[in-house]
Structure formats: C-alpha cells, structure tokens
Structure 1
Amino acid sequence: MYIDDYRALQEFYQQHLATVILPFWLEQGIDTEQGGFFTCFDNRGERLVSFDKYTWSQGRMIWLLARLSELSRAGLLQHDANRLLVLAGQGVEFVRQHAFLANGNCAYLLDRYGNKQEALPGKGLDISFFADCFVALGFSEYARVARDAEVLEQALTLCTHIIQRLKAGAVRSEPYPIPDGYEAHSTSMIMLNVTQELASALEAFGDARAAEVRKLSFAYMQAIMERFYQPGGLIAEILPLQSASQESVLCRHVTPGHAIESMWFVLREARLQGQQQWLKPATQAIAKAFAVGWDQDYGGLFRFVDRNGGQPGGLQMGTPYEQLILDTWDTKLWWPHSEALYGTLLAYELSGERIFAELYQQVHEYVFKTFPHPEQPAGEWIQIRDRQGQPIDKVVALPVKDPYHIIRNLVLIIELLQAHLPRA
C-alpha cells in the first residue's frame, strides 16, 4: 500500500498510531496511582486480567513513551511530548524503586505496588536476563531523550552487569529456557539491540565510553552473522555447543519473526559502522525468512517453521522448548508481522531491490486486514491468532498484551519515511 508514495504511507501510519494504538495504551495502560504500567489485558483488550507488572514490559513501555515523546516534539505525532516523557520518567522511578535485587539483577515480576513476586513458585525472582535487557533498553532511551545523565549511568551499569553474567554463564532465560548444551541466537540478538541503544544514548551525551559499547555492538553483530547466519540466508535459532544432532527439532526449526527483527538490527548497525559486507546477506536473510515462513494457503508468517519450510520436523529430544515449537508452530502472532513491516521497508531502502517492496506490500495487506480489532477501532490489535487468522486465547511468552513491537515499528517506519520526504 502506497509503497511509492512516502507521504501517503507516512500519513497512514501516523493515523493508525494516533487513533488506533495509542488511545488504548494512554487511557488504560498507565497506573496513575501506584506508578508503572498495566499490560496484563486479554488478547482482545477488553478486560484487565491482572494488576501484575512484568519487569520485561515495564522496561519496554519506558522505551516506547520516551521515543513517542521525541516523535511528538519533532511534530511527527500530535501528542503532548512533555506528558509522554513524564510518564516514561514515572516508569523509570517505579522500576528503580522496586525491580532491582541486592545482587544487581532485576526481578522478573512485580505486583501492582512493586512487591517482588515469584512467577514460577520456588524458582526465584530473577529468572530471565531478558527482563534486565529491556530495563537497560528503556533506561537508555529515556536517558537519551530526557538528557538524564543519572539514568544513563544506571543503564550502563546494568548492561555491564548483564555482560558479566553472560560471560560467567549465570543467566536464566524464562519463559523459554535455553536447553543445556545449546546456544541461542536470541542472546546475541538482544545484546546487539541493548548495546546499540546504549551506545546511541552515550553518543548523544558526547560520552567517550560510547566507542567501547559500539565495539560490543560489533561483536554481537559479528556473532550473529558468522555463527547463526547459515548458507542460503537462514538464521539458525538454536545451535548445539558440541555434538548434539543438527537434525533435531531444536536445531532444524527457524523463527521467521526473529530472523527479520535480528536482521534489521544488523542492517542499522552495519550501515552505522560502515560494515558494507553484511548489508547484502542481511537483506537476503529477510527474503529467506519470507520464503520459508510465509503461509501460502492463508497468508501471514508462521511462528516457527522447519528450515525447509512447513511444519518443524526432526528428532525429538523431549525438551519444553521443543514442545512449544511443535504445539504452536502454525499460529499467527502480531509481533513477527510488525517486524516484517519495518524490516522489508528498511531492506528496500538499503538495497533498492524491488522484491522487498513486493514483500512489504504482501505483509501490509495481510496485517491490516488481520490484526486490528474489527469491532473497536481504538481497541488496539487482537494480537494472537490461529493459522486462519481467527483470534485465540493463548499465552505467548508473558501473560500480557504488550504493545512494544507494534508501537516501536510504527515509530521506526514513520521516522524512515520522514528521512525521504522533502523538508518544508
């Protein structure tokens, strides 16, 4: 839709963000009494099912509100930039006061009042380093936009702590624990994003430490492109550390949404750091994700597929993660599709290859006939659907309705298109 008319396309996304997505979250997602954000809504967004606050989502909301404030200040969104930044700052304070443990890790789950909870009884409070990563992302973006040096220091301290834990092998990764004997693409992927966002914040302050963080971004990008990038453009999701079978379900499966998201991280960082050798492979990986992951019968991207396309196959090792793959492979989720909207547009911008304009058109048509709530124009998206596109009530990752992927990608699309419009 409007692929050759950047002005019309930008206006479409501005309208969708302002009238469909944001009203729901600004009216229902802000805890004005206790601080922090509500995200535990049902799939249709019709009721708040819990006051629990997952630290993962709190960090994401901080990032979103800070970036939306910047977008509004630039005149690309008609919202009160000051209010948005105040809301982001309130989220920072809620997390600072309640989420951190004595060891420097972040608790995974808080109740409405900030009391730390065990999401899995008996398993402890800090069960996923991804929660820490999203706090670091949120703090970095808030610090950059608000020019808050104290929050920036906290983001840097947290990022350093995460890296130390990774080197020591002292991290956990609920809700999808990485099986023993394997390494996951998701680790390098999230750390690439954390370090590139932190580096951008440090650069905005003219902080000399930015150069070292950019080196970390390069290392994580290199790990993705030299370790997980496979011949033909597939991005492996799980690899064995030693001699485990490459023909297992774990090793054969591909996650199209992760591949696309990871590759736009790579594209942005490779362009920034002048690593031209990775631009072409990264765009090829986006095309490959569509080639193996697109449902030719009903449209949309599958959640998981076999490396050759279709239902994941291979030897079964009996792990919980493997069962998740087999049970949910053909569902259609909101987040891969929002990533595909931005990923294909960025690939088109950087490569000029018409295939990415065609892929963008394909995913745009599917997304906007499938995910927006048909009965509530300001009801956000119905995010979790079956293969045919019908809503289903199923927990994916956290039991939350999280706007991070939707809003982030709409913002990035608006910014990308703005860069190509003539200045007034």
Structure 2
Amino acid sequence: MNATEYLAQWAASYKDDIVNNIMPFWMKHGLDRKHGGVYTCLNRDGSLMDTTKSVWFQGRFGFIAAYAYNNIEKNPEWLAASKSCIDFIEAHCFDTDGHMFFEVTEEGTPLRKRRYVFSEGFAAIALAEYALATGERKYAERALEIFKRTQYFLETPGMLEPKYLPTMEARGHSITMILINTASRIRLAIDDPVLTEQIDRSISALRRYFIHPEFKALLETVGPEGEFIDTCNGRVINPGHCIETAWFIMEEAKYRNWDKELLQLALQILDWSWE
C-alpha cells in the first residue's frame, strides 16, 4: 500500500468512527439536556458514574462539536451541542476573579478550582470554533478576551499559585505547548498580534528550555533556564504530549507556507517521540 492509499484508508476510518461512534455516543449519553453542557464521567455503556462535570471537557466538547460541524457535516445538533457547552461555561464556570473553575456540579455549582489555566484555553477554542461555524464575531471576540486574560494570569506574579515552592523553581512544558494550539485556533476566527506573538514565544521557549538532544526528547519539567532536574518529575518524558507539540508546530509551519525550519523542528520532535 502506498502512502496516499494508507492515508486515505485511515482518514475514512477516523471519519467513520467520529460520525458513527464518538459523536452519537456523546450526544446520546453525555449531553445534559436539562442543565446544559456535557457530563464527563460515563461508563462504556453510556451509564452515568458521577454527575460531576469537568470544566476542561465543557470547552473540549464545545470545540469538537463545532469543529465537526465545520469540517465533517453541517449537523445542526452538533452545533447546538457546542452552544450548550458554551452557554454552560459562561453561566457557571468563571469565578468572580475571572479565573475559571476546574470542576462543577451538574447544575454548575463550583466544586474545585486549581492553579491551571487550561479551562480558559479550552473555553477559548470552543468560542472561536463556534464563531467560525456561525459567523457571529462576538464569540471570537470573547475567545480573544479570555486568551488575553490567560496571558495576564500567567505573566503577573502572584495571580496563580506556583507549582513548586521557591526551593525548586521549574518550568512546565504543557502550558507552553497548549498556548500554541489555543492561539492558532483563535487566530482562524479573529486575528490579533498577540496570538502570533504568543506562538513565537512558545516555540522559542520549547527550543531554549525543553528540547534536550542528549536525551533525544522534549522534557516535561525543567529548571528556570532549561536545566535537567534529576528527580522523578524531571526525568519524565511524555511521548504523547511531545507528539501533540509536533502536531501544533507542524500546523504553524503550514500556516506560514510550510516554513521549512518549523517543519524540521516538528518532525525532529515527532521522530524522537515515536522512537
């Protein structure tokens, strides 16, 4: 089988899976038609194990439903599901300080709040994708607003609790990586210089701090200047996270007319991670 046939076969398989398995399952069992949003603790048979709702997942499913609408088929139920998640997020998932919660009850009562800003990232891409689906610019503007607030949280000392006490300063790969994807998804709906600037900063940080050729790996946690930390956490290599990073950089290379330098960086990370 040549490469074209191979890719066509898997593309058809993935499309069949999302149209006939994944989306029907979540639309039937996950979507909360009473309170809005989506349940996140389901058994394989669709039965509900726990009514607690992950805020991350509200944004993720809101994005996926709108993305499927935009790229697979114009299914109005998918678009309505995306809107349900977005409305639930806006009604229940922001604290008074503008920082989002991590978990809420099925009705939207806050249960847990953490130091991370991934809830913000996933909410923003849901809003941006919904804006692309509907042409309603207000959703894109809201996505950009949340993104800029996320940058403020990350860049303003004291806004977020540090991962470690000052006895061990460290940098984390995950937020550096996800900001590339978040910015690029929003940029498709509304362009603003801060988006490409953030992508450039994140890619620069990956090169400077996280990519370690001596290990043929991209590390998850490093010192302030990219130093290798010889602990369990410092030795962690997460191939899945790294392949995500390669994917996001490759998307950016494509956006920049297949920038050869970015493409090579992405392929190097992919090759190391696959190995």
Superposition TM-score, scaled by structure 1 size: 0.59
After superposition, the Cα gap between the structure-2 partners of 1:216 and 1:143, relative to the gap in structure 1 and judged at 3 Å, is same
Structure 2 unmatched runs, 5+ = none
1:323-377 superposed Cα distances (whole Å, 9 cap, x missing partner): xxxxxxxxxxxxxxxxxxxxxxxxxxxxxxxxxxxxxxxxxxxxxxxxxxxxxxx
Structure 2 Cα separation of the partners of residues 71 and 278 of structure 1: 25
| 2:264 equivalent among 280, 294, 305 | 280
Moved more, 142-151 or 93-102: 142-151
* Paired-residue identity, %: 22
RCO higher in structure (CA 8 A, sep ≥6)? 1
- Structure 2 partner of 1:214: 196
Q: Give how far 1:200 is off.
A: 1.4
Once structures 1 and 2 are overlaid, which stretch shifts more, 211-220 or 102-111?
211-220
Q: Which residue of 2 aligns with 1:54?
A: 54
Is contact 1:65–1:87 with CA below 8 Å preserved after alignment?
Answer: yes
Partner of 1:163: 151
Letter of the 2:262 counterpart: W
**Matched residues in 1 for 2:226 and 2:267: separation?**
31
Alpha-carbon distance between aligned partners in 1 of 2:226 and 2:76, rounded to the nearest angstrom: 55
Q: CA deviation at 1:150?
A: 1.5
| Structure 2 residue aligned with 1:406 | none
Match of 2:34 in 1: 33
Counterpart for residue 191 of structure 1: 179
| Contact 1:105–1:126 under 8 Å retained in 2 | no
Structure whose alpha-carbon radius of gyration is higher: 1
Moved more, 221-230 or 29-38: 221-230
CA contact (8 A) 2:29 2:46 kept: no
Deviations 1:10-56 (A, max 9, x none): 322222222222221111011111100011114x3553111111111
Of 77, 82, 88, which aligns to 1:83?
77
Counterpart CA distance in 1 for 2:51 and 2:180 is 31
**What residue in structure 2 maps to residue 236 of structure 1?**
219
Distance 1:213 1:164 in 2: 14
Counterpart in 2 of 1:23?
A: 24
Task: Give the length in aligned residue pairs.
Answer: 269
> What are the within-5 Å matches in structure 2 for residues 10-409 of structure 1?
10-42=11-43, 44-73=44-73, 81-118=75-112, 125-169=113-157, 170-172=159-161, 177=163, 180-203=168-191, 209=192, 211-231=193-213, 233-241=216-224, 246-274=229-257, 275-291=259-275
* Distance of aligned partners of 1:244 and 1:283 in 2 relative to their CA distance in 1, 3 Å threshold: closer
Instruction: Tell which deviates more after alignment, 103-112 or 44-53.
Output: 44-53
Alpha-carbon separation, structure 2, partners of 1:241 and 1:278 = 24
**Structure 1: unaligned runs, 5 residues or longer:** 74-79, 119-124, 204-208, 292-424
Aligned mates of 1:192, 1:24 — CA distance in 2: 30
- Over the residues paired in the alignment, what is the CA RMSD in angstroms? 2.3
Q: Is this contact kept in 2: 1:183–1:238, CA < 8 A? A: yes
More helix by share: 2
Runs of 4+ in 1 over 6 A off after TM superposition: 242-245
Q: Deviations over 1:172-200 (max 9, x none)?
A: 58xxx567511111111011111111111
- The 1:97–1:246 alpha-carbon spacing in structure 2 relative to 1, beyond 3 Å, is closer
- Quote how far apart the aligned CAs of 1:111 are: 0.7
CA gap of 1:243–1:164, structure 2 versus 1, over 3 A, is closer
Counterpart Cα distance in 2 of 1:62 and 1:217: 23
What CA deviation, in whole Å up to 9, does each residue of 1:401-424 have, x standing for no partner?
xxxxxxxxxxxxxxxxxxxxxxxx
